[in-house]
Structure 1
Amino acid sequence: MQRGRDQVSIRRVGIVFAGGPAPAANAVIAAAGVSLLDAGLEVVGFYHGYSNLHGYDAAKAPLEPDVHYRLFTDDDLRGIRSSRGVVIGTSRVGPGSEIRNGADLDDPERCAPLLAVRRGLLDAGVDALISIGGDGTLRAANLLVEVQRRLPMEDPRIAVVHVPKTIDNDYPGIDFTFGFFTAVDVLARELHNLRADAQATSGWFLVETMGRRAGWLAYGVGIAGEADLTLGVEDIPPAWKTQEGHLDPARLVDLVVDTIVAREDRGKYYGVVVLAEGIATLLPPGTTSRRDEHGRVVLATADLGRTFAGLVAERYAARTGRKKKVTGLQVGYESRSAPPHAYDVMLASQLGVGAYRALVEHNLDGVMISTSGQLDLRYVPFGDLVDPVTLKTQVRLVKPGSDFHQLARFLESRTARPQRWGPGPRREH
């Protein structure tokens, strides 16, 4: 939406990057920063996300230049768009966690921490903010907009725009998020290595990928890495769930064993299965991983691959009377700061320029920068992405039966083409 006519014109723009790293992060920062500097504006990069702004107190913990933030120069930003990591650092500190619903926005006590962040930005001379991050960071950006709407008209406003960031690609309002294709490329290469290892040892690998509740990354890795089976949350039918609504692990185990046996019937004694980490959220408590104080699965501890590897090996032995080497592992972290893919650099650069154009050319506030088609820019209002009651952001799952979903299904049956010759079954001792 457009900013009001009475809002102070922009002179200094802050950039905050929060959440996990993603390839091409520096392309967003550099493209936005250079565009703003070229327009004669000042650009401040805040170090380590919101960690130095959260709980801001001008008297007790003032913000210091080159300690808590950097006033960028052109030389700081040129030549870094294809670099790894996040030039200003990041953190998972999320302002606004005290606000649980719309009613809390009228509670001064619950809004105090968020208003402290606003005060820190104002004291740093910031008139507008470019937020870069995942759904939690989008939520914080929306809350900052909403809490300012409730302030007296004479109070200064900070315009806020958001750039979506996640290798999980589970964001609504945009086709693909920057970093996704790099992550797929890096992890698919690992899958090819594992596949060669599996062929040499007549074994199987069960690989858990990042992706949170959605299967985008798992499907991408499975397609590009030629997995023999890829499973995400989207593939779990109601019939696989117990009366309590949990996934019955035996159903998934049986499907994997069915795949192993079917390949052996075709003379293939090895393979790779990809599991999306979000499956852990469907499992009964105590099956795998730990849960936080709210009872939610901590996905980083899920370890689906190792958990199901043992179950699959046991089930295979019970069905066939033979042993089978089944190894489980997790992948994902190694892709977050990999050298960015050219497409991700182009996409992230356009999103960074889009943030500049939203603020300066279009006078926008409370929008997410997006692209479609041939990197055509779009500006999506926060209200289209955030539930007005819970104030939580939406998660985009892979639509079962969609062309992308069917692509994974088609290719699973084509990755095991007959070869001229190869090792037969290996006897396990």
Structure 2
Amino acid sequence: MARETSIKRVGMLFSGGPAPAANAVICAAALSFINNGIEVIGFLDGYERLEDFSPDSPLREGVDYLALTRDDVSGIRNRKDIILRTSRANPGKPVTALSDLADPEKNARLLAVYRALDSLEIDALVSIGGDDTLKTANYLYRMQELMPELRRLRIVHLPKTIDNDYYGIDWTFGFYSAAHFAAAEIRNLVADAKSTQTWYVLEIMGRKAGWLTYAAGIAGEATRMLSVEDFDGEFDANAVGAELADLMLAREKDGRKYGIVCIAEGLADKLPEDQKPKATDEHGNVRLGEAQVGRILADAMERAYKERTGVKVKVRSKQIGYETRCSEPSAFDVLLGTQLGVGAFRALVEEGLTGVMVSVRDQLSLTYVPFAELIDEATLKTRVRFIDRSSDFYRLARALEYQGILSRQD
């Protein structure tokens, strides 16, 4: 039986990098609304079309959005490519202060998004994405507070990142699938390293935190794992390379002339200026894929080993990145994504909420976290959840590593 609600039409979009089980989220959310007589509009390519909207260029069905039906979303929960596609369009990029949300020079693209939604008589928006997408959802929510002339549009957000660095939820959908894929790659390279008696440095996705590096390293039985949480200050690749050369020699005494070092790509941001690559993106961040911090560390290990032994060795480096984002979704991620999708419906229709992120706890019990708890009020940036070095998760990784002589900062 359909529930009584003022919501007649819901918009949904996916923004930022892909993640396994994305379609499970879209499917469950769409079916929940459709089953209750609520129309669902799926916007294609994130905010890309919406931020450029104008009344002179209306949104086109089949080009800019899809009117989702039961057939569109049935049987897609395990599909790898995202049916709504995605982009990194960021309509809130000019905003640096709350007052900017009412400033015509700063809120133009956000206002274009709102007007695009209003043009289709959207009553509520389901936002699916990472930290920038959450930030945009919060901007749209707060902008309505500062501009009372706008028709009220409810907004809920569903957290997505394979990095698993979100506040307000223990595990994000896609994380375990990405970790499983990366772990399989690590195990393959462990076999290769053992067969050829060589070392690898594997650089794994994770700009801000090391959850994926540690989970993949634990499951893949890596020799050593390093991430941004391991260094309070700079990541001096030369100094760490020297310590890892000592680890190489310690393992050789045990008859193990091979090993796998997993590092988070975000360590590139912690390199000293004289080691840091100069190429940056439009936000001033180091282009992590191009930085090749794994290669930098591998070179440092080779130099240090030769200094100690006079012998030249080859330390291979490899990046494990984009291929994890659309890997086969695990059963857990499909379950988690499905519950989050249903949670969007329950938050909007059953609970009458807005300005919240859908989350789970315990055995996938739904909970709703206000944006205010996830966003730093002073900077308007999303809070990042790092691995606590005193946590049992971190201690698990340390307990399983090869107990060589590499010193630790904790």
Out of 180, 194, 219, the residue aligned to residue 214 of structure 2 is: 219
Number of the residue aligned with 1:156:
151
Out of 231, 234, 239, the residue aligned to residue 251 of structure 1 is: 239
Give per-residue Cα distances to partners, 1:7-30, cap 9 Å, x unaligned.
x92100000100000000000000
Number of the residue aligned with 1:272:
260
Out of 14, 18, 34, the residue aligned to residue 11 of structure 2 is: 14
Number of the residue aligned with 1:35:
32
Say if 2:317 is the partner of 1:328: yes
Out of 85, 91, 100, the residue aligned to residue 89 of structure 1 is: 85
Number of the residue aligned with 1:132:
128
- Offset, 1:286: 5.2
Q: 8 Å contact 1:210–1:218 — kept in the other structure?
A: yes
Amino acid paired to 1:47: L
**2:29, 2:9 → 1: CA distance?**
13
Number of the residue aligned with 2:306:
317
Amino acid paired to 1:316: Y
- Offset, 1:293: 4.9
**2:94, 2:53 → 1: CA distance?**
16
Q: 8 Å contact 1:202–1:325 — kept in the other structure?
A: no
More divergent stretch after superposition (135-144 vs 260-269)? 260-269
Q: 8 Å contact 1:208–1:329 — kept in the other structure?
A: yes
**1:328, 1:116 → 2: CA distance?**
44
Q: Spell out the pairing of 1:221-236 with structure 2 (5 A cutoff).
A: 221-236=216-231
Q: 8 Å contact 1:183–1:332 — kept in the other structure?
A: no
Number of the residue aligned with 1:77:
73
**1:321, 1:354 → 2: CA distance?**
61
Number of the residue aligned with 2:376:
387
- Offset, 1:260: 1.1
Q: Spell out the pairing of 1:405-416 with structure 2 (5 A cutoff).
A: 405-413=394-402
Say if 2:293 is the partner of 1:304: yes
Amino acid paired to 2:204: T
Number of the residue aligned with 1:58:
55
Out of 321, 341, 353, the residue aligned to residue 364 of structure 1 is: 353
- Offset, 1:213: 1.2
**1:255, 1:294 → 2: CA distance?**
33
Q: 1:296 to 1:145 in 2, by over 3 A?
A: same
Number of the residue aligned with 2:143:
147
Number of the residue aligned with 2:271:
283
Number of the residue aligned with 1:260:
248
- Aligned CA-pair RMSD: 1.5
**1:15, 1:300 → 2: CA distance?**
30
- Offset, 1:304: 1.3
Give per-residue Cα distances to partners, 1:68-111, cap 9 Å, x unaligned.
00001101111101111211100000111111112322323212
Amino acid paired to 1:138: L
Number of the residue aligned with 1:44:
41
**1:152, 1:271 → 2: CA distance?**
61
Give the secondary-structure state (helix, strand or coil) at the position aligned to 1:108. Answer: coil
Q: 8 Å contact 2:237–2:296 — kept in the other structure?
A: no
Q: 8 Å contact 2:12–2:40 — kept in the other structure?
A: yes
Give the secondary-structure state (helix, strand or coil) at the position aligned to 1:269. Answer: coil
**1:383, 1:54 → 2: CA distance?**
24
**1:152, 1:401 → 2: CA distance?**
46
**2:260, 2:196 → 1: CA distance?**
12
Number of the residue aligned with 2:170:
175
Give the secondary-structure state (helix, strand or coil) at the position aligned to 2:329. Answer: coil
Q: 8 Å contact 1:288–1:303 — kept in the other structure?
A: no
Q: Spell out the pairing of 1:178-217 with structure 2 (5 A cutoff).
A: 178-217=173-212
Amino acid paired to 1:64: R
Q: 8 Å contact 2:238–2:297 — kept in the other structure?
A: no
More divergent stretch after superposition (80-89 vs 256-265)? 256-265
- Offset, 1:413: 2.9
**Unaligned 5+ residue runs, structure 1?**
1-7, 416-429
Q: 8 Å contact 1:188–1:224 — kept in the other structure?
A: yes
- Offset, 1:55: 2.0
Q: 1:294 to 1:365 in 2, by over 3 A?
A: closer
Q: State percent identity of aligned pairs.
A: 50
TM-score (norm 2): 0.95
**1:317, 1:340 → 2: CA distance?**
43
More divergent stretch after superposition (277-286 vs 383-392)? 277-286
The count of residues paired between Structure 1 and Structure 2 equals: 399
Number of the residue aligned with 1:23:
20
Q: 8 Å contact 2:28–2:338 — kept in the other structure?
A: yes
**1:85, 1:214 → 2: CA distance?**
25
Out of 364, 369, 385, the residue aligned to residue 396 of structure 1 is: 385
Q: 1:286 to 1:11 in 2, by over 3 A?
A: farther
Give the secondary-structure state (helix, strand or coil) at the position aligned to 2:47. Answer: coil
Give the secondary-structure state (helix, strand or coil) at the position aligned to 1:178. Answer: coil
**2:382, 2:146 → 1: CA distance?**
21
Give the secondary-structure state (helix, strand or coil) at the position aligned to 1:44. Answer: strand
**1:256, 1:103 → 2: CA distance?**
49
- Offset, 1:288: 4.2
Q: Which 4+ stretches in 1 moved above 4 angstroms?
A: none
Q: 8 Å contact 2:269–2:276 — kept in the other structure?
A: no
- Offset, 1:262: 1.4
**2:292, 2:122 → 1: CA distance?**
43
Give the secondary-structure state (helix, strand or coil) at the position aligned to 2:194. Answer: helix
